[in-house]
Amino acid sequence: MSEQKTKGQLLAEEVFYKKKSAFDLWSAEELSAAKEYCGGYMKYLDDAKTEREAVDASIAMLEKEGFRPYKLGDAIHAGDKLYYNNRGKSLYVLSVGTEDINNGVRISASHIDSPRLDLKQHPLFENDNLAYFKTHYYGGIRKYQWATIPLALHGVVIKRNGESVNVRIGDLPGDPVFCITDLLPHLAKDQNAKTLGTAFTGEGLNILIAAAPYMEEDGKPTPASDKVKLSVMAYLNEKYGITESDFMSAELSMVPAGNAVDIGFDRWLIGAYGHDDRVSAYPSLTAIIENKNSPHTLMCILADKEETGSEGVTGMQCSLMVDLINELAKHLFGNPNVIRANSLCLSADVSAGFDPNYPEVHEKRNASLISCGVAMSKYTGSGGKSSTNDAGAELVSLIRSMFEKDGVLWQTGELGKVDQGGGGTVAKYIAKQNIDTVDLGVPVLSMHAPFEVVSKVDVYSAHKAFSAFCK
Ligand code: MN
Ligand code: MN
């Protein structure tokens, strides 16, 4: 017979907060639903390695569910399911509700760009019988992580006549891949003495792409100079109809080759390139699709350029979100200032999961733990909370109550120890428009690495969180 609990034990159960994992809390059915949901997410990861590919993959999902393209100026009616494709690189999804538009819009804003190696505008060169691409890295990378791994080439070339050519080499079975070489340990004495941050340089991130010269019709190497470079251009010219000058109007990137995979004997983790931030984009998309008949007007934003500061016409600092709210106001007879004041936003971005291999950079009590659910960050920033949208306690309470009502597994998460570093999200740009905003996202291990890690239960929790917010 179990002993009766003491008054103190009962009180502790009532007043203490104890973080629990999905494995402590969820039924077998819920756990298997999480694994099944992640099958769709992993497919999305494979299809969407760049922001352009993410826009295409997202539109394909939306069109199946009856969403249709919107142009600025078009009329909007209650019940409309729309998407605005911003230059093929960012996407704004609208599910127009039946309630008064002045009640505000429920916005989720994630990003679909990820750190990578962009090709320069004059990328191609040859040295000592090997051909290379010059790169300029995009976003915050740790350069050493990108050497000696297989890379794939993704992107678009817009020719002089405006014709667009899509390029995608390195992910299909049988495709060649590319790589950056590194020193052998035998000769790395000087390199080993450098710091991790200085041993690899930006200009050193050259991609090995070919090794054989162009062959003349007689089967002999061409007498022309730049023989290997010529064989590369001959291949690209035949396959894509491009010449070297077309690189000047191209957006080509080297991304890690290969598909998303299960990690671990139990298959509860996913390893992939670009969880940051497709792990918010995909759940926010499935949530708006699932809740397209919500009485609220919903907006799901998939932004570009977050990794470089949200600048430019496809970044979150562009006026488009406000422009679309103005269109909603105009066509649904609302006041845009009132709509924004009454709107709510989940700024959806990954959080730094507590890594037992590196406990020294986290403060465990306030870090997000893997498999303990989606993480809400009241503030981000660095130092004395500088450069952060610090969400009001009232907003945190409101969102928390939505989650708890819907049985969403969630936790709070702070980005590392105080003064260890820091980072930001799009939250502050949205808050600037007088929209109450709080950060929410999935804990990630090895964030910004070519192979990032998340837990399937956290991905599913993100979907449930965005869905609760849409209801
Ligand atoms: Mn991010
Ligand atoms: Mn990031």
Stretch among 115-119, 291-295, 387-391, 454-458 having the lowest mean pLDDT: 387-391
Q: Which residue has the tokens 């139990």?
A: 266
Same domain, 184 and 229: yes
Same domain, 199 and 210: yes
Q: What is the spatial distance between Cα 452 and Cα 443, in angstroms, rounded to a whole number?
A: 11
Is 10 domain-assigned?
A: no
Same domain, 376 and 281: yes
Domain boundary among 231, 256, 281: 256
% of the chain residues with pLDDT over 90: 97
Burial label, 424 (beta-carbon count in 10 A; 0-12, 13-18, 19+): buried
Residue 63: pLDDT above 80? yes
Same domain, 142 and 67: no
- Over residues 211-226, the pLDDT tens digits come to 999 999 999 999 999 9
Same domain, 440 and 306: yes
Residues with CB under 5 A from ligand 1 (ion): 276-277, 349
Is 265 domain-assigned?
A: no
Residue 111: pLDDT above 90? yes
Same domain, 183 and 279: no
Q: What is the CA radius of gyration of the chain?
A: 24
Same domain, 278 and 427: yes
- Ligand 1 centroid to Cα of residue 164, in Å, is 28
Mean per-residue pLDDT for 297-303? Answer: 98
Same domain, 166 and 292: no
Burial label, 351 (beta-carbon count in 10 A; 0-12, 13-18, 19+): buried
Confidence band of 422 (pLDDT split at 50, 70, 90): confident
- Ligand 1 centroid to Cα of residue 307, in Å, is 7
CB-based contacts of 45, cutoff 8 Å, min separation 6: 259, 260, 270, 272, 273, 274, 275, 278, 282
- Over residues 83-104, the pLDDT tens digits come to 999 999 999 999 999 999 999 9
Same domain, 248 and 389: no
- Ligand 1 centroid to Cα of residue 275, in Å, is 9
Q: Which domain holds residue 84?
A: 16-114+273-470
Q: What is the spatial distance between Cα 109 and Cα 72, in angstroms, rounded to a whole number?
A: 20
Which ligand lies nearest the alpha carbon of 425?
A: 1
- Ligand 2 centroid to Cα of residue 333, in Å, is 38
At residue 304, the pLDDT reads: 98
- Ligand 1 centroid to Cα of residue 110, in Å, is 8
- Ligand 2 centroid to Cα of residue 115, in Å, is 7
Residue 170: pLDDT above 90? yes
Same domain, 107 and 121: no
Confidence band of 3 (pLDDT split at 50, 70, 90): confident
Is 332 domain-assigned?
A: yes
Which ligand lies nearest the alpha carbon of 278?
A: 1
- Ligand 1 centroid to Cα of residue 142, in Å, is 15
- Ligand 2 centroid to Cα of residue 442, in Å, is 12
Mean per-residue pLDDT for 38-62? Answer: 98
Mean per-residue pLDDT for 419-430? Answer: 93
- Ligand 2 centroid to Cα of residue 219, in Å, is 49
Which ligand lies nearest the alpha carbon of 446?
A: 2
Same domain, 87 and 192: no
- Over residues 142-154, the pLDDT tens digits come to 999 999 999 999 9
CATH number at 375 reads: 3.40.630.10
Mean per-residue pLDDT for 445-449? Answer: 98
At residue 303, the pLDDT reads: 98
Confidence band of 444 (pLDDT split at 50, 70, 90): very high
- Ligand 1 centroid to Cα of residue 423, in Å, is 9
Tell how far CA 132 is from the center of its chain: 28
Mean per-residue pLDDT for 280-308? Answer: 98
Residue 275: pLDDT above 90? yes
Total tally of structural domains belonging to the chain: 2
Is 149 domain-assigned?
A: yes
- Ligand 2 centroid to Cα of residue 307, in Å, is 5
- Ligand 2 centroid to Cα of residue 79, in Å, is 34
Phi, psi (degrees; rounded to nearest 5) at 95: -120, 105
- What is the pLDDT of the chain when averaged over all its residues? 97
Q: Which of 30, 82, 465, 56 has the alpha carbon at shortest distance from 286?
A: 465
- Over residues 304-320, the pLDDT tens digits come to 999 999 999 999 999 99
Residue 1: pLDDT above 60? no
- Ligand 2 centroid to Cα of residue 464, in Å, is 22
At residue 2, the pLDDT reads: 65
Which ligand lies nearest the alpha carbon of 307?
A: 2
Is 3 domain-assigned?
A: no
At residue 367, the pLDDT reads: 97
- Ligand 1 centroid to Cα of residue 280, in Å, is 9
The predicted model scores a pTM of: 0.97
Is 7 domain-assigned?
A: no
Strands 164-169, 151-158: pairing is: antiparallel
